[in-house]
Amino acid sequence: MIKRNNFLNRLQTAISRSPITALLGPRQCGKTTLARYFGEKQSADYYDLESQVDLRRLQNPELILGIAKGLVILDEIQLLPQLFSVLRVIVDRPESKSKFLILGSASPYIIKNASESLAGRVEFIELTGFNALETDVSALSDLWSKGGYPRSFLAKTDNDSYVWRDGFIRTFLERDIPQLGISIPAQAMRRFWTMLAHFHGQIWNASKVARSMGVTDKTTRSYLDILSGTYMIRQLQPWFQNISKRQVKAPKIYFRDTGLLHSLLGMTNMHNLIGHPQVGASWEGFVIEQTLAIFEPSACYFWNTYSGAELDLFFIHDGKRIGIEIKFSEAPKVTKSMKVAKQELDLDCLFVIYPGKHEYQVDKNITVWPLSKLTDLPKHLS
């Protein structure tokens, strides 16, 4: 078992200060396993709302949960939406001695209901698949190729991993999407999702995608929002600044899990991946997700101008303006675009992340940094 100490610590902190903690993330990313492990140490009461037995136990939820003491875990809470108002009533009672950990996969639904019913009472934690903080450096290639979903990453063979991911995609389209109350044919969404794989790492162009599918821009926008809201896609927003250059204003599209990206593109193993035209874009998305998992910035952006200057990732860390450029190259060099980005964005430092082994400086405040040492980067900046 891979210990997820970072998330366990975050859970402990959140539960100690908030009456309700919401652990969100896509299906099969390890929410239930993490919650059960955490709950065992807290002697928590656990309710799985997909279980008919547990649903019967909660036929009178205000009575049952109102007398609970300690930690109560409610898994797949979106299946019993009336619980949101019940929890609000319970935690507002002065005599309440319980804390609640709620789990769910449908982020737009849960966030909307929790924000409306539990405002000021809930803290959100977003769980992803495994990341570079949790796996050994030697496993980064597998993490990139197979993705971070536990059953995919831990599969014994590449084929086992690919088969699991294919089943996950089918289940997501045929069961999970309809459970959200969204009536979109599975074939249409799969076609869109597959088409989106070819746009991974590119600036979103609704009209181009809509023409390819024979639908309206509004339809493709709604499809994209569904995949973004269920943690499948990241819409990386552009950074705007009052400068003379015309800047791109549409988001960039990235698969949040490269394993799913590779499955939809038909890449079954690392050999297929390295020889694929999308290898550079896949690497870029993978590095972005690992960087965000390590730094956990409150907001992140890309920067791009119509004159050609660009930066893959920009965020603020401990008051420092950090730029990240990603190169799938053995020996990246400083470019004019990097210098422009450093100047225009007033960066304190710019790091070029690459798949090599050594770090080296290529210009003032511009350093080439290996992905294998990415977890050391926050300490380097301290």
Concatenate the DSSP letters of all residues of 134-190 into one string: TS-GGGHHHHHHH-S-HHHHT-SSHHHHHHHHHHHHHHIIIIIHHHTT----HHHHH
Structural domain including 320 reads 137-381
158 burial via Cβ count (<10 Å: 0-12, 13-18, 19+): middle
pLDDT band, residue 151 (cuts 50/70/90): very high
Do 99 and 174 fall into the same domain? no
Per-residue pLDDT reduced to its tens digit, 47-79:
999 999 999 999 999 999 999 889 999 998 888
- Do 310 and 280 share a structural domain? yes
Q: What is the pLDDT of residue 199?
A: 95
- First-to-last alpha carbon distance for the chain, in angstroms, is 31
One-letter amino acid at 97 equals K
pLDDT at residue number 181: 72
State the DSSP string of 294-319: HH--S--EEEEBTTS-EEEEEEEETT
Same domain assignment for residues 301 and 161: yes
Of the residues 126, 148, 165, which one is the last residue of a structural domain?
126
Give the tens place of pLDDT for each residue, 364-379. 999 999 999 999 999 9
Task: Answer whether residue 221 shows pLDDT above 70.
Answer: yes
Q: What is the mean pLDDT of residues 305-316?
A: 89
Report the domain count for the chain: 2
- Which whole number is the average pLDDT over 222-228? 92
pLDDT in tens, 252-267: 999 999 999 999 999 9
Instruction: Determine the pLDDT at residue 106.
Output: 63
Report the CATH number that the domain containing residue 41 is assigned in CATH: 3.40.50.300
What confidence tens digit (pLDDT) does each residue in 179-203 have?
A: 777 788 899 999 999 999 999 999 9
pTM confidence score: 0.92
246 pLDDT tier (thresholds 50, 70, 90): low
Give the number of other Cβ atoms within 10 Å of residue 287's Cβ. Answer: 25
Residue 92 lies in a domain: yes
Q: Verify that 158 and 114 share a domain, yes or no.
A: no
Residue 108, pLDDT score: 61
Q: Give domain status of residue 132, yes or no.
A: no
Q: Is the pLDDT of residue 120 over 90?
A: no
Mean pLDDT of 102-127: 78
